[in-house]
């Protein structure tokens, strides 16, 4: 029976880039946050004498061969497991295909989860434990395979609020934020991630950023992220409950202070890609300005480019504030999506859809 899996989008709550490395990648420090928005990936797998993969999608822009991240992930997983099987993967695109939301990377992890369920592997649905040393063999292998498929694939094996360092593939769960309203704008302009990194290199050269200075900056920022999220746990108890989600408790009088405000990151968080992407696509800077709504009563808590774009997002205290941002975008001729951030427990508990018949 096919297994249908939700494949959620992510945003980056800031992204800092270092100088280019010898391996062709860049060191970075970012906080990934999963969103409620999702594609649906359906997997059917039957053990067979030889492996054969087939991939289909409702969206013709999705590659249906070994270029597809879901295909790569399933092929690598079968090899690592020493299993041969006939596998069919169907990707029902609901998310915009514009970059920045990690949709293709999430599809890869959803295909893996579907494959595991189909093969009857006894893997638990949930984030691996914090310490790599305590991971079991398969948990380590799937993190390694995910990193081979792409730098922002492993984050989807954790979900919720996730610190990403090294080239973005080294991930660690952070205390989750309670859900906040999010507006995602998906402008039609395309941004090439490798090109954005090359533009960053040119900027580094102009500004004389050395690899050592770049690494020092990243170390400092990843420490700042980790301590901001650790400090955001309210006094008088962790308040994380069984879900691990930061919460002030339902009985607190007055308006609930957003956990995002308590992290303190709103005062300093930034996405380095904006420096190179906005100068090439000024329309994206304008969309950020509209999302921010500065000076209005419905102003965003935070608005910025996600990854290298072209998707942008705004986070809002209330649904009304988010709706107001959507209206502002609409008045400028820009469609958008309304969603919420998705904590880790909900990410895992809602991952499997009712089995398809």
100: left (phi over 0), alpha (psi -120 to 50) or beta: left
Closer CB to ligand C5P, residue 28 or residue 110?
28
Instruction: Report the run of H or E that residue 102 belongs to, with start and end.
Output: none
Closer CB to ligand C5P, residue 66 or residue 318?
66
Strand partners, 162: 32, 173
Closer CB to ligand C5P, residue 152 or residue 176?
152
Catalytic residue check, 10: yes
Phi and psi torsions of 39, nearest 5°: -95, 170
In whole angstroms, the minimum distance from the beta carbon of 250 to ligand C5P comes to 40
Please choose, from the candidates 9, 89, 101, the residue with its C-alpha nearest in 3D space to the C-alpha of residue 307: 101
Alpha helices in the chain (DSSP H): 69-81, 103-118, 137-149, 193-207, 211-231, 259-263, 273-280, 282-292, 319-331, 344-349
Task: In whole angstroms, give the CA distance from residue 189 to residue 201.
Answer: 22
Task: In whole angstroms, give the CA distance from residue 353 to residue 117.
Answer: 12
In whole angstroms, the minimum distance from the beta carbon of 236 to ligand C5P comes to 39
Structure tokens at 232: 């955001």
Catalytic residue among 39, 93, 152, 176: 152
Closer CB to ligand C5P, residue 15 or residue 45?
15
In whole angstroms, the minimum distance from the beta carbon of 33 to ligand C5P comes to 18
Catalytic residue check, 231: no
Q: Which residues bind ligand C5P (CB under 6 A)?
A: 24-26, 28, 150-151, 167-168, 193-194, 197
In whole angstroms, the minimum distance from the beta carbon of 244 to ligand C5P comes to 27
Task: In whole angstroms, give the CA distance from residue 191 to residue 203.
Answer: 17
In whole angstroms, the minimum distance from the beta carbon of 130 to ligand C5P comes to 22
Distances (CA, A) of 46 to 43, 50, 87: 10, 10, 7
Closer CB to ligand C5P, residue 143 or residue 260?
143
By the 10 Å C-beta count (0-12 exposed, 13-18 middle, 19+ buried), 46 is classed as exposed
Catalytic residue among 10, 217, 288, 317: 10
Closer CB to ligand C5P, residue 16 or residue 347?
16
Phi and psi torsions of 93, nearest 5°: -75, 120
Structure tokens at 308: 């290298």
In whole angstroms, the minimum distance from the beta carbon of 154 to ligand C5P comes to 10
Closer CB to ligand C5P, residue 168 or residue 175?
168
Q: Report the Cα 108 to chain-centroid distance in Å.
A: 13
Please choose, from the candidates 10, 11, 12, the residue with its C-alpha nearest in 3D space to the C-alpha of residue 269: 12
In whole angstroms, the minimum distance from the beta carbon of 86 to ligand C5P comes to 28
Cis peptide before 310 (omega within 30 of 0): yes
Please choose, from the candidates 244, 256, 248, the residue with its C-alpha nearest in 3D space to the C-alpha of residue 301: 256
Active-site amino acid positions = 10, 152
């Amino acid at each position: 029976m096919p297994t249908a899996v939700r494949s959620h989008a992510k945003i980056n709550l800031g992204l800092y880039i270092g100088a280019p490395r010898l391996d062709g990648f860049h060191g970075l420090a970012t906080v990934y946050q999963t969103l409620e928005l999702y594609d649906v990936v359906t997997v059917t797998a039957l053990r067979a004498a030889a492996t054969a993969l087939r991939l289909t999608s409702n969206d013709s822009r999705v590659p249906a061969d070994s270029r597809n991240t879901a295909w790569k992930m399933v092929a690598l997983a079968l090899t690592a497991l020493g299993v041969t099987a006939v596998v069919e993967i169907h990707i029902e695109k609901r998310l915009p295909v514009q970059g920045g939301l990690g949709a293709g990377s999430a599809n890869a992890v959803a295909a893996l989860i579907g494959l595991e369920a189909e093969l009857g592997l006894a893997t638990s649905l949930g984030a691996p434990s914090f310490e790599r040393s305590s991971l079991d063999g398969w948990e380590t292998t799937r993190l390694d395979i995910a990193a081979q498929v792409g730098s922002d694939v492993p984050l989807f094996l954790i979900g919720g609020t996730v610190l990403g360092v090294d080239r973005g593939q080294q991930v660690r769960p952070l205390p989750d934020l309670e859900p906040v309203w999010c507006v995602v704008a998906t402008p039609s302009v395309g941004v090439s991630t490798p090109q954005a990194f090359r533009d960053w290199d040119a900027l580094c050269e102009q500004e004389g950023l050395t690899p050592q200075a770049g690494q020092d900056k990243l170390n400092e920022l990843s420490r700042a992220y980790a301590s901001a999220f650790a400090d955001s746990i309210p006094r008088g108890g962790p308040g994380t409950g069984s879900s691990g989600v930061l919460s002030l408790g339902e009985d607190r009088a007055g308006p609930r202070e957003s956990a995002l405000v308590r992290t303190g990151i709103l005062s300093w968080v930034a996405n380095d890609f904006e420096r190179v992407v906005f100068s090439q696509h000024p329309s994206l800077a304008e969309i950020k300005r509209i999302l921010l709504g500065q000076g209005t009563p419905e102003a965003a808590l935070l608005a910025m480019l996600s990854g290298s774009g072209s998707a942008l997002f705004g986070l809002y205290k209330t649904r009304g504030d988010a709706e107001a941002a959507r209206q502002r975008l609409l008045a400028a001729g820009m469609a958008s999506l309304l969603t919420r951030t998705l904590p880790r427990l909900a990410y895992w508990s809602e991952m499997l859809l009712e089995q398809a018949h």
